[in-house]
Structure 1
Amino acid sequence: MGSTGSASDGNSMSGTAGAAGEGAPGTGRADYEEWVTLNGDRQNIAVLSEDVSNPVILFVHGGPGICDRHWVRHYQSGLAKDYTLVFWDQRGSGKSYTKAVKQSVPQVEQYIQDAKALVEYLCEKFGQDKIVVAGHSWGTVIGVPLVQRYPQHIAAYISQGQVVNGPENERISYEFCLREAKAAGDEKAIAALEGNGPVEGVYPSAKAMRAQRDCLVRYGGSDYHDRSGLVPSLLIPLVKMEGYKLTDIPKYVAGALYLSDVMWPQVVECDYDASARALGVPVLMTVGRHDYNTPFELAEAWFSSLEVPYKEIVWFDDSAHSPIKEEPEKWGRAVEAFLEKVVQR
């Protein structure tokens, strides 16, 4: 694994700004993109805020490689009235993708250290001691150890699509798809799934995993209402929503395909039932009642025994994996109500 940088280990982290729009640090409105160098890797962030003196929320996207600034911005821009929203395209993802990411297999630890470096940079940039971290799916694989190790920089943790135990996650998700396919008499899906289940969370091929994820979307375990299939559900919002240009899409796709393939064995190694039984910051867990991408029962069980200074769980009965966009108004209200209790202004 390559070198990592942080304030505590003596290596340096630098944030270098590219062409930015309006909204310099201080006070006032901000809506711009910026390039930062995190542990030697140039990565893209975007900032949206009505007043950059407000508390910062860093959104840590899923995948690996599935950036979400377009639909977080589309559905949750109202949060920018009272908070400074930061969207981060992680190493090798979205706008941050370069072919250099393929020179070696990225490591989960690199992403944790990139996140730490970015948190430190944002604290300094916006003059804040702590920021809020909001992780989604793969973003929770980064978010939990980030919060666990570096609570001095984190005001609160917001979880959505929480990954808890990789092998159990995939077993339950796969069994849901096979059960639904059989109930629907979907012979094509049954043929793609049978004999291609995960072993310790890892599918026999990238094709087998994509087949399972496509079934997951079509049977409502990923998005409860949008059942158009894996590819349309990812690509159509990229084209229709603000955040990415058409010229960004090939990089987005390349990063998502590569990272989700080569990093998956690492992703499913996580077992937060064993390694993360306590966190030192307030936690809000937002859970879709129909989530079989990161099965809701695993998240609920982990949360119930999690030791934290303060915690809330909010259920979304009309959502699966992404309440932030499936029930956006309710998700936004839940976040605002939680942060009003735990974040000092």
Structure 2
Amino acid sequence: MFIEINGCKLYYEVHGQSDEKDTIFFIHGGPGLGDCRGDVTTFKHLESMYQLVFLDMRGSGRSADVPPYTHEQWVKDIDGLRDRLSIDSIILHGSSYGGFIVQEYVLKYPERTKAIILNVTAPDNQHHFEAIDNALKSEKSTICKEDLKRLFAGKVQSNHDFRTLYGAILPLYTMKNDIEAQQEKLNQIYFHYQTHNDAFHKNLETFDLKDKLNEIRVPTLVVAGKKDWIVPSKYARSIANLIHHSTYVEFENYGHSLVREVPDVYSDLLQKFLMGNLTGNLVVDIN
């Protein structure tokens, strides 16, 4: 379905009825190349227990290209959709860049937030420097240093350029190097290069929430992959250390795409957390 929020036509889906159930908003990562389809596939089985809301963020997926592409605007869009759906408070799940936006949301609207789940994300932009080094050292990618820095600096020149650059680093995201699956994924992406450029060149230059995270009081689950090349697990752990009484889970043998690679295990942990049956720190050691 489409809805106009704050002057922008947004694509969204609602799975399950509210019926006094909690509502989970899923916020995807990868501004300009991510969308909600992966989360719909992974989490739609939870609709019998929760009302699920999935959306393509402004400037991503099937939603319209209407600037500004800022953290402030994306937060306003999420809250605008919450309001239009007549939901008083929500649970938010954010992966990667989506985790940045979820942190921003709960800090702006704590009274409208029941709980947050932060998956493979960070409290600031310092991980990007380490990610560039990790990519250049890896044998799974042949991208040159100049192109990689241009990608992370938000200096992509076109959607075709964006596709080429992202395709060169796509093998880094999963543990199994499945070329056919990677090509299929690449072919399905809606590329919006200007959204990416604004996110990486404008927003992330000043992104740093470390001094504010101790203000968060809602139940918080932080998940990391020990083999994550782009957001190493130490950054997620720093979030958990800064948010009082948060729960931290680290997947020993997985990286940035752990949600897609072990969806059943992840969903089980998510449900246990939301039911209050998961606390403290946990290491998940599966292959």
What TM-score range do you get, normalising by the shorter chain? 0.7 to 0.9
**Paired residue for 2:78?**
115
Query: For the Cα contact (< 8 Å) 1:196–1:203, is it kept in 2?
Result: no
**Paired residue for 1:175?**
133
Query: For the Cα contact (< 8 Å) 1:164–1:271, is it kept in 2?
Result: yes
**Paired residue for 1:70?**
37
Looking at CA atoms only, which structure, 1 or 2, has the larger radius of gyration?
Answer: 1
* CA apart distance, 1:216: 3.9
**Paired residue for 1:217?**
170
The CA distance in 1 between the partners of 2:235 and 2:129, in whole Å, is 12
**Paired residue for 2:261?**
326
- TM-score in terms of structure 1 length: 0.70
> What does 1:1-345 correspond to in 2, within 5 Å?
33=1, 35-49=2-16, 52-98=19-65, 101=66, 105-122=68-85, 124=86, 128-166=87-125, 168-181=126-139, 188-189=142-143, 192-193=144-145, 195=146, 198=149, 202=153, 213-218=166-171, 220=172, 222-228=173-179, 232=183, 234-235=185-186, 238=188, 252-253=190-191, 255=192, 257-269=193-205, 270-304=207-241, 306-308=242-244, 310-341=245-276
The CA distance in 1 between the partners of 2:137 and 2:186, in whole Å, is 27
The CA distance in 1 between the partners of 2:251 and 2:22, in whole Å, is 25
Deviations 1:29-88 (A, max 9, x none): xxxx3x322222221210111665421100011111334432222222221120111101
Helix, strand or coil: the match of 1:54?
Answer: coil
Computed over aligned residues only, the root mean square deviation of the Cα atoms, in angstroms, reads 2.9
- TM-score in terms of structure 2 length: 0.82
Quickly say closer, same or farther: Cα 1:75–1:52, change in 2 above 3 A.
same
Helix, strand or coil: the match of 2:128?
Answer: helix
The CA distance in 2 between the partners of 1:143 and 1:229, in whole Å, is 32
Percent identity at matched positions?
A: 23
The one-letter code of the counterpart of 1:110 is: Q
Moved over 6 A (4+): 207-212
Gapped runs of 5+ residues in structure 1?
1-32, 239-248
Query: For the Cα contact (< 8 Å) 2:28–2:97, is it kept in 1?
Result: yes
* CA apart distance, 1:226: 4.5
Quickly say closer, same or farther: Cα 1:69–1:197, change in 2 above 3 A.
closer
Quickly say closer, same or farther: Cα 1:87–1:327, change in 2 above 3 A.
same
Query: For the Cα contact (< 8 Å) 2:221–2:273, is it kept in 1?
Result: yes
Deviations 1:133-174 (A, max 9, x none): 1111121221111101211111000111213221x2111111
The CA distance in 2 between the partners of 1:282 and 1:107, in whole Å, is 26
The one-letter code of the counterpart of 2:196 is: S
Quickly say closer, same or farther: Cα 1:206–1:267, change in 2 above 3 A.
farther
Quickly say closer, same or farther: Cα 1:205–1:72, change in 2 above 3 A.
closer
The CA distance in 2 between the partners of 1:272 and 1:339, in whole Å, is 24
The CA distance in 2 between the partners of 1:202 and 1:230, in whole Å, is 27
The one-letter code of the counterpart of 1:295 is: P
Gapped runs of 5+ residues in structure 2?
278-287
The CA distance in 2 between the partners of 1:324 and 1:75, in whole Å, is 8
The one-letter code of the counterpart of 1:47 is: V
Quickly say closer, same or farther: Cα 1:173–1:51, change in 2 above 3 A.
same
